[in-house]
Amino acid sequence: MNKIKSIAILSNPNNERAIAEGEVVSAYLSEKGVATIYGKLNDDALRAQVMNNSFDLVITLGGDGTVLRTGHLCAPSKVPIMPINFGRFGFLIEVPSDGWKAHVDRMLAGDYWLEKRMMLNVSMIRNGEEIENWQALNDIAIGRGKEMRPVHLRTSLDNKFLTIYVVDALIVSTATGSTAYALAAGGPILPPDLRNLLLVPVAPHLSIDRAIVLAEGSTVKIEMQEYRNTVISVDGHEAVDFLLGDVIEVSASSHSVQIMRFQQAEYFYNSILSLMDQNPSTGARK
């Protein structure tokens, strides 16, 4: 593996512990002779450097949301991410906040592997023109806005009519996102290295109520069947209005997020099983 010479360290700007520890990580790497730049994830100048492929690695301090946002920055330039867990869940993270030095030493010694996770390419088309384009590591969700009524979504697969979903929301997810909103909606858990799309209805009413696993080459097209107050959210970001006549097209992206791993490949099932039935946000961890 190529020697890592320059590292950007990005902390969740809303996590004081992560901000403080980011400086410690930067100092430790500097002592090891590695060029580092430390800042918060919302630092526009540092974000631009990451996107311009100025670093060999990005270390994140935060939770899964921090990894998602950093993935959007790093995927186009193929810069790998080493996440350190300062969040609650850590579905995407294996390096603990109190054990990062050992993992940093392994990283500097080249004792790691890179896990590639597929992203989604999401286009919003209005009046025949693409007006928005997003990359999603987890999922996109199209659902009801302010009105407490189900939305009617005409859905096609590879330009062939599939069904009209009558739902609170419809999720299109990656394997990574299968442990997020899709899991809460009753979808299956997919290993992270699978390059599939997952279609999951939320609270379907007299319409298809099963999740559908699609091949990587599939394209999903979603249109509003009749007007409802409807929004779309990509990777949990601020919702955007989805209007009558708009078309959402979702397919596998050409970009992948590379996450640095130190455990064996089967780590995923050990991790997910340890988190099931003890959601840390409820204080129920055993």
Task: List pLDDT tens digits, range 136-158.
Answer: 999 999 999 888 899 999 999 99
Residue 216, judged by CB atoms within 10 A of its CB (0-12, 13-18, 19+), counts as: exposed
Q: Mean per-residue pLDDT for 151-172?
A: 97
- Tell whether 179 is covered by a domain: yes
Answer yes or no: do 72 and 143 share one domain.
no
Answer yes or no: do 77 and 124 share one domain.
no
Q: What is the pLDDT of residue 228?
A: 86
Answer yes or no: do 36 and 133 share one domain.
no
Q: Find the domain containing 67 and state its range.
A: 6-112+262-282
Cα 116 to Cα 212: distance, rounded to the nearest angstrom? 23
Clarify whether 193 is annotated catalytic: no
pLDDT > 80? residue 276: no
Kindly report the number of other CB atoms within 10 A of residue 116's CB atom.
15
Answer yes or no: do 179 and 101 share one domain.
no
- Tell whether 182 is covered by a domain: yes
Q: How many domains does the chain have?
A: 2
Helix (H) or strand (E) holding 240: strand 240-242
Answer yes or no: do 37 and 143 share one domain.
no
Answer yes or no: do 174 and 86 share one domain.
no
- Tell whether 66 is covered by a domain: yes
Answer yes or no: do 178 and 229 share one domain.
yes
Answer yes or no: do 268 and 234 share one domain.
no
What DSSP letter does each residue of 70-135 carry, written as one string? HHHHHGGGT--EEEEE-SS--TT--EETTSHHHHHHHHHTT--EEEEEEEEEEEEEETTEEEEEEE
- Tell whether 127 is covered by a domain: yes
Cα 174 to Cα 195: distance, rounded to the nearest angstrom? 7
Confidence band, pLDDT 50/70/90 cuts, at residue 12: very high
Answer yes or no: do 168 and 90 share one domain.
no
Q: Mean per-residue pLDDT for 47-62?
A: 95
- Tell whether 180 is covered by a domain: yes
Give buried/exposed letters for 166-204 (b at 16+ CB in 10 A, else e): bbbbbbbbbbbbbbbbbbebebeebebebebbbbbbbeb
Answer yes or no: do 99 and 142 share one domain.
no
Q: What is the pLDDT of residue 91?
A: 83
Answer yes or no: do 108 and 125 share one domain.
no
pLDDT > 70? residue 171: yes
What average pLDDT is seen over the chain? 92
Q: Mean per-residue pLDDT for 249-278?
A: 81
Given 43, 56, 64, 246, the catalytic residue: 64
Q: Mean per-residue pLDDT for 256-260?
A: 97
Answer yes or no: do 125 and 231 share one domain.
yes
Confidence band, pLDDT 50/70/90 cuts, at residue 277: low
pLDDT > 60? residue 209: yes
Confidence band, pLDDT 50/70/90 cuts, at residue 239: very high
- Tell whether 94 is covered by a domain: yes
Task: Specify the CATH number for the domain of residue 63.
Answer: 3.40.50.10330
pLDDT > 60? residue 124: yes
Which of 111, 104, 224 has the alpha carbon at shortest distance from 164?
224
- Tell whether 1 is covered by a domain: no
